[in-house]
Structure 1
Amino acid sequence: MGSCIICGVSTDGHICETHEEDVVFEFRGSKPEQLTPGRYYQGSVDGFAEFGVFVDLGDDVTGLLHKSEIPQRLDALDWEPGDDVYVQVDDVHGNGNVDLSWSIRQSEREFRGMLVDDPDAPSDAELPEDESEAPPAATEEEPEAEPAEEAPEETEAEDVETEEAAEAEAATEEEAAAVEEPETEAEAEAVERVAIDDLDEYVGDDVAVEAEVTGVRQTSGPTVFELTDETGTVDAAAFVEAGVRAYPEVEAGDVVHLVGEVERHHGELQIETEDLEVLTGADAQAVHDRLEAEVTERASPDDETLLVQDADIDVVHADLVDAATEIRRAVIESRPVIVRHTADVEGYVGGSAIERAVLPLVREEHTASDAEYHYVDRRPLDDGFYTLDDATKDTTSMLEAADRHDEKHPLFVLVGSGSTRESVDGLGLLDIYDAPTVALDGGYADGEAADAADVLVSPTQHGESPVSTGVLATHLAGMVNADVRDDLAHLPAIPFWGDTPDVYAELASEAGYDADVVGNVRDALALEAFYQAYEDKREIIADLLWDEADTSLVGHIGAQFREKLETEFETAEPHLEPRGVDDVTFEVLDVDQYTHRYDFPPVALLLDALYRERAEGDYVLLGADSDELRVRSTGDVDVRAVGETLQEELPEAGVVPRGAQDGRIEFLSGERDAVVDAAVDALAEQFE
């Protein structure tokens, strides 16, 4: 039996089942069946094929990393034959084929240790030979004494002389030590404090670094501390013995004074720790102040202007600056940025714009080739609210990352959600764990949610009318990263299904996107937003919005969108039920009976299309399914207020207003007819 190099529990080998995915293995077998599925292995690129990458894992053992497992296009992968890579073994087939999957960690330092998977060893999780024993102590070893020759017997007088000589020698050594001690302390104090950004000039020298510990990981050999000062980040390795935690009192968030020798480890700078002390009081505060001053300066947007002047957006200018500052700060502090957006055109335009702005900043801040997949994540939402279910999923993932990889809690950026009371519980859960949030919503926000997010950007909170969320988020992206403003110029024109405001149509045209191309992009995006709604679809969305905007891809998908929408439109329109109340025209669509609810287009998009085609005068379109009512109206109606009225009139109908003024109404399916009738009457009154 051995002990786990990460948590220390007794186990067969040197890694427990809980932490097996936190280490990488060197495979020393010669047969595929000797591999262990689920483990991460170090390999080397053997070659490329149209369908993926072949990776050598050991002697005569090669696996296939299929292109579907790679989170980017195969031709964009910066691997070359012979490169060391890291992959996970998914399955080993009876014919010897090995299925591999992607590893987001593509350097040894990103794992918490390296072990050996050797079929001939006592276990399949052994320490590498050079780490199986601790290195020799720093003190010089005494030369081994040679056997003494047999001496003649000493006389009593000789014994006395020997004792006196020994006493005199001891006294001399004590005096020498007393003299040398101050010199040793002075030498220690003389070690120069160096900024992390300047360490490459001190390779081979002892230096002192004062910094915050931003991460701690235990490897199969040393403990590695990630240190961050006002200039950069570096790893410091401290060794007690193989797999044993050095300086166990030091945790992430501590401020330390570290002395050690600067070396290069696998091509990267690293400090070999000789002494480590946790700073407190004024010393620690001085380091914090230096860090905060530098982060604050760097986090401020380089360009705070809007992409183009728009009075409707200008009312939230200060809020946009605050939001951009929070996003830039997260990147600087190595805090992942999680973009949560609605799965529609507005959400994909806004979420992708922010992603486009953040990715280059992450690449600049982190040298690892896979950093953009680690520090930026875009996760579409199933609904327009950030529910407790969404927050629970995010919190679970966040806490696991913190526990396994000592990762900081992310900044959550909510696009098109987070501004109504339905999101308060979800935002509250994130707040309990001190995960910062930014909510951005062009639609109606309500007072209950105003204080739930750390930063809320919504024109309605300033008493102004709603705007396009996609437009709002694109302006934010331009503040986050001024270098991508040209890439964003056409995006604000895309979310509009009717007439595009001249200012954004002109901006898109100047960027090479005329009205036809913009319309094609919008249609294609709407279709792709529906399918695989929970996936970010990073590459195909990027192709639609940027790389392929004038090619067959957009045209092909856009044509499918129009064909599917037209078919559903023609199916639903004859089944609209007219209702006249005073001078207001009502039409009701029974969504359950006269639409294909689980196929494209989604109900909301179909209702929008029907409304645009038929809206004239005082007109209201109601889409009613078994337990939900959606409203489209030419009048300035308040759907939440209607829902609250129905709650009083129909106490047994289980009516629940969802969202703000432009929300929807939920109810018990058995009360559908009563709810629709009451809603028609209540809406008619709002036109008076």
Structure 2
Amino acid sequence: MSTPNGTGDDGTDFADSDEPTTVYDLAAGCTLDDIDSGEKYVGTVNGVVEYGVFVDLSESVSGLVHSSNLIGSYDVGDEVIVELAEVRPDGDVSFTEVQLADYVREQVGPGQEVTGETLPDAVGDEVHLDGKVVQIKQTGGPTIFQVRTASAVVPCAAFEEAGVRAYPDIELDDVVRISGTAETREGYTQIEVDSIATLDGEARETVTERFEKAGPATPADVEPLIDWPAFEKLRGDLQTVAARLRETVLEGRPIRMRHHADGDGLCASVPLQYALEQFIEATWEDPEAPRHLLKRLPSKAPFYELEDVTRDLNFALENRKRHGQKLPLFLMLDNGSTEEDTPAYRNLTHYDVPILVVDHHHPDPEAVEGLVEKHVNPYLYDEDYRITTGMMSVEIARMIAPDVTDDLRHVPAVAGLADRSDADAMDEYLALASEEGYDKHRLVDIGEALDYATYWLKYNDGRELVNDLLNVNCDDTERHERLVDLFTERAERDVETQLDAALEHVTREELDNGAHLYRIDVESHARRFTYPAPGKTTGKIHDKKVEETGDPVITIGYGPDFAVLRSDGVRLDIPEMVAELQAEVPGGGVSGGGHLVVGSIKFVSGMREAVVDALVEKMADAEIDEDLGSSAVISE
């Protein structure tokens, strides 16, 4: 039964409102300045005497609940809900007990509440911040907790003995309240921690709801650079990838970006690297975060090799142990769609790491299904390689960081020319690049310069050099021009030297379907260990023969255990041929793939003649289609 003032016979407060009463739980660093008259607070009994109980609200706020203001019976360590009764001139504090029928508990930190956005405005002040721990790094001095708020990540330095882990009970993904002082350090703002408390129940849910309402992972709603119905089919998938990458940054998970080391692979990876770094800089207070959270890694083969995955896993496991990083998300660009990728993927499944694939090579969707989180490929929408990975990735980059758009308008055209896309949309991409000052000849030069650079860079990402060649995130246009001129000139010189030697050894025959077949043993009749590589050499020979004849042409460049294939005017289905050869040539060890009209095949050296002969027989039965051009040059 309640009294007219809303209080029960036992002193329990029955609020007239349907909403439960809020009871505040003060953080350890709170002072009397953080307490308001009339509000309810949870305290802990630290002493029991004849005339009442002493209660702690925080490390510096304690007081007496006199027996006349005490409703229940308590022991040391019990919790009790109180209101402020009086602060005497000598500083003594007294409280009144309150018992509530229904209440919610809310954590309160000392000073003002801040977020990642408002922290720089509070330098020198006592603050508190609610968020999720996304990284814990032990330095030689403090322990650095990276704490995610609704849309930013804040470094919080907790000091213990030098090199000793502070707050060892705090773990990754804990939702916490950090209390301390906002301070500037080496150009960025951090919180120097006084206390960390985990949030549970409703308090944790409140923080999680803030993340969902803020929607920081939602990609920007940008219009595509061109209106292309074929491309529109993939737009939803591209938005999903953009959202996943933004969320990955905010959750503190590193991203390892694996891309094919060719023109299209670079046109895909460099814009995404640029956009992700912009997003990291905008959301992480730590200026070193872009370097630690993102790695761009070229792959020489057009698939994820076991050699690469072994290095990647070792690097990731070391970083988890030494720097408190989560295991990374793997982003595969211009590779990753085929059965050849699956051994590497199976290695990654042992560590439960997510994999995203954005590719335009002919896929084996059933092979990679269940091994990758998201697989974006135009073939899955009845399109083909003419939608290049660079074209798709530029749109993802713009969804992640729209401000990069002006630096990327020419890149899809470079990607399309580098990968020989004959899509109708190429005219629009070329027009877009022309508006930015690039004619078609210059775009081809950029692609050649990128190809030349990646050959010599090997496994190095060549970040600054590649940025300058592609003119993305480049601060000197004149330097870009000079570098492209230099690299193009040297590439042309090396190609001419290679062809002068190799063309003398090219053999020709006419197939039953009327196509011209050219063969070259690139292992014996081309310079090794220099530019151009066997795949590029085969491509250049092929282009020369197409120009000379104007007829349907197939070119095979082979070595002891591989063959590189190019065709114009002949509808080869190289992935299907590979599947058939695997069944028809026992012991051949056949593997490979690529696009429909360009690809590479591997086999055991002792079976080269049998594999190549069987391959030629299939080519002789292929359909002639003079409107069908060849696609990307395969790097070997």
User: TM over 0.5: same fold?
Assistant: yes
Deviation at 1:572, TM superposition (A): 1.8
Given the alignment of the two structures, is residue 653 of structure 1 paired with residue 539 of structure 2, yes or no? no
Establish whether residue 532 from structure 1 lines up as the match of residue 457 from structure 2.
yes
Distance 1:682 1:488 in 2: 42
**Cα RMSD for the two superposed structures:** 3.2
Match of 2:135 among 195, 215, 240: 215
- Identical counterparts, % of pairs: 30
Closer/same/farther in 2, CA of residues 382 and 215 from structure 1, 3 Å limit: same
The more displaced of 345-354 and 365-374 is: 365-374
Contact 1:548 1:554 in 2 (8 A): no
User: What is residue 678 of structure 1 aligned with on the other side?
Assistant: 614
- What is the letter of the counterpart of residue 420 of structure 1? T
The structure 2 residue matched to 1:598, chosen from 529, 532, 542, is 529
Contact in 1 for aligned 2:469/2:480 (Cα 8 Å): no
Query: Aligned pair 1:386/2:325, yes or no?
Result: no
1:190 and 1:521 mapped to 2: Cα distance?
57
Q: Which residue of structure 2 aligns with residue 640 of structure 1?
A: 575
> Which residue number corresponds to residue 601 of structure 2?
665
How many angstroms apart in 2 are the aligned matches of 1:425 and 1:317? 29
Q: How many residues are paired up?
A: 520
1:349-391 residue CA offsets vs partner (Å, 9 max, x unmatched): 2211222222222222234444433333211112100123222
> Displacement of 1:334 after TM fit?
3.6
Aligned 8 A contact 1:442 1:472 in 2 = no
Deviation (angstroms), 1:333: 3.3
Query: What SS does the aligned partner of 1:574 have?
Result: helix
Cα 1:261–1:601 change in 2 (3 A) is closer
**Alpha-carbon distance in 1 for matches of 2:421, 2:356:** 30
Q: Does the 8 Å CA contact 1:307/1:478 hold for their aligned counterparts?
A: no
Distance 1:687 1:225 in 2: 62
- State the alpha-carbon separation in 2 of the partners of residues 480 and 240 from structure 1: 38
Q: How does 1:19-30 map to 2 (within 5 A)?
A: none
* TM-aligned CA deviation for residue 489 of structure 1: 1.3
Output aligned runs, 1:174-213, within 5 Å.
Answer: 178-179=64-65, 191=109, 194-197=113-116, 198-199=118-119, 206-213=126-133
Q: TM-score with structure 2 length normalisation? A: 0.74
1:221 positional shift? 4.9
For 2:54 and 2:203, locate their aligned partners in 1 and report how far apart those are by CA, in whole Å.
35
Counterpart for residue 515 of structure 2: 584
**What residue is the counterpart of 1:514 in the other structure?**
439
**Equivalent in 243, 256, 263 of residue 325 of structure 1:** 243
* TM-score between both structures, scaled by the size of structure 1: 0.69
Question: What is the rounded CA distance, in whole Å, between the counterparts of 1:445 and 1:224 in structure 2?
Answer: 43
- Note if contact 1:401-1:407 (Cα within 8 Å) is conserved in structure 2: yes
For the 8 Å contact 1:640–1:664, the answer to whether it is kept is no
2:192 and 2:479 map into 1 onto residues whose CA distance is 51
What displacement does 1:418 show? 0.8
- The equivalent of 1:623 in structure 2 is 557
Cα distance in 2, alignment partners of residues 367 and 598 from structure 1: 45
In structure 2, the CA distance between the partners of 1:678 and 1:239, relative to structure 1 (3 Å rule), is: closer
Confirm or deny that 1:311 pairs with 2:229: yes
1:300 is paired with a residue whose SS is coil
The equivalent residue for 2:382 is: 463
After superposition, where does 1:35-434 map in structure 2 within 5 Å? 178-179=64-65, 191=109, 194-197=113-116, 198-199=118-119, 206-239=126-159, 241-262=161-182, 269-294=189-214, 297-434=215-352
CA shift for structure 1 position 243: 4.2
Task: Verify the 8 A CA contact 2:449 2:469 in the aligned structure 1.
Answer: yes
Output the CA distance in 1 between the equivalents of 2:334 and 2:136.
36
Distance (whole Å) between structure 1 residues aligned to residue 324 and residue 275 of structure 2: 26
SS at match of 1:566: helix
Read off the aligned partner of 1:476 and give its amino acid letter.
I
Of 488, 498, 508, the match for 1:558: 488
CA-CA distance at 1:225 after TM superposition: 2.8
Q: Conserved in 1, the CA contact under 8 Å of 2:158 and 2:192?
A: yes
- Please tell me the residue identity of whatever aligns with 1:611: H
**Can you give the 5+ residue segments of structure 2 that lack an aligned partner in the other structure?**
1-28, 30-48, 56-62, 67-79, 85-92, 97-105, 472-476, 625-636
**Residues 614 and 241 (structure 1 numbering): CA distance in 2 closer, same or farther, change over 3 Å?**
closer
Deviations along 1:405-425, one digit per CA (max 9) or x if unpaired, are 112333322111111111123
> 3-state DSSP class of the match of 2:326?
coil
CA contact (8 A) 2:394 2:411 kept: yes
User: Which segments of 5 or more consecutive residues in structure 1 lack a partner in the other structure?
Assistant: 1-137, 139-169
CA distance in structure 1 between the aligned counterparts of 2:309 and 2:330, rounded to whole angstroms: 10
Structure 2 residue 372 is the aligned partner of structure 1 residue 453:
yes
Q: Partners in 1 of 2:440 and 2:189 — Cα distance?
A: 52
SS in structure 1 of the partner of residue 578 of structure 2: helix
What is the CA distance between 1:620 and its match in structure 2? 1.8
Shift of 1:272: 4.8
User: For residues 377 and 563 of structure 1, do their structure 2 counterparts lie closer, same or farther at Cα, with a shift above 3 Å needed?
Assistant: same
CA distance in 2, matches of 1:365, 1:179: 46
Q: Counterparts of 1:471 and 1:174 in 2: how far apart (Å)?
A: 71
Contact 1:358–1:480 (8 Å) recurs in 2:
yes
The one-letter amino acid paired with 1:566 is E
Paired residues of 2:410 and 2:432 also in contact (CA < 8 A): yes
Q: Structure 1 residues 594, 281: closer, same or farther in 2, change over 3 A?
A: same
In structure 2, relative to structure 1, the CA distance for the partners of 1:678 and 1:370 (3 Å cut) is same
Equivalent residues of 2:385, 2:421 under 8 A apart: no
Q: Secondary structure at the match of 2:570?
A: coil
CA contact (8 A) 1:195 1:229 kept: no
The CA deviation at 1:513 is 1.0
Q: Is the 8 A contact 2:151 2:283 kept in 1?
A: no
Q: Is the 8 A contact 1:658 1:666 kept in 2?
A: no
Equivalent-residue separation in structure 2 for 1:614 and 1:226 (angstroms): 59
Q: 2:411 maps to what in 1?
A: 491
Which residue does the alignment assign to 1:13?
none
Residue identity matched to 1:194:
E
**In 2, distance between residues paired with 1:391 and 1:550?**
33
Partners of 1:436 and 1:345 lie apart in 2 by: 26
For 2:587, give the aligned amino acid: E
Question: How far apart, in 2, do the equivalents of 1:459 and 1:175 lie?
Answer: 70
Q: Report the Cα offset of residue 216 of structure 1.
A: 2.4
Distance 1:580 1:202 in 2: 78
Contact persistence 2:114–2:127 (CA under 8 A): no
Alpha-carbon distance change, 548 to 298 in structure 1, aligned in 2, over 3 angstroms? farther
For 2:588, give the aligned amino acid. A
Deviations 1:480-520 (A, max 9, x none): 32212121111122231568732122111100112232232
Looking at structure 2, the residues matched to 186 and 562 of structure 1 have their Cα atoms a distance apart, in angstroms, of 86
Amino acid paired to 2:115: I
Corresponding position of 2:502: 572
User: Cα deviations across residues 5-46 of structure 1 (Å, max 9, x unaligned)?
Assistant: xxxxxxxxxxxxxxxxxxxxxxxxxxxxxxxxxxxxxxxxxx
Matches of 1:486 and 1:529, distance apart in 2? 25
Q: Tell me how far apart the structure 1 counterparts of residues 187 and 511 of structure 2 sit (CA, whole Å).
A: 77
Q: Secondary structure at the match of 1:479?
A: helix
Alpha-carbon distance, 1:440 to partner: 1.3
**Partners of 2:601 and 2:518 in 1: how far apart?**
17
Q: Is 2:256–2:329's contact at 8 Å kept on the other side of the alignment? A: yes
Q: Which amino acid aligns with 1:579?
A: E
Amino acid at match of 1:643: V
Q: 1:548 to 1:393 in 2, by over 3 A?
A: farther
CA shift for structure 1 position 536: 1.0
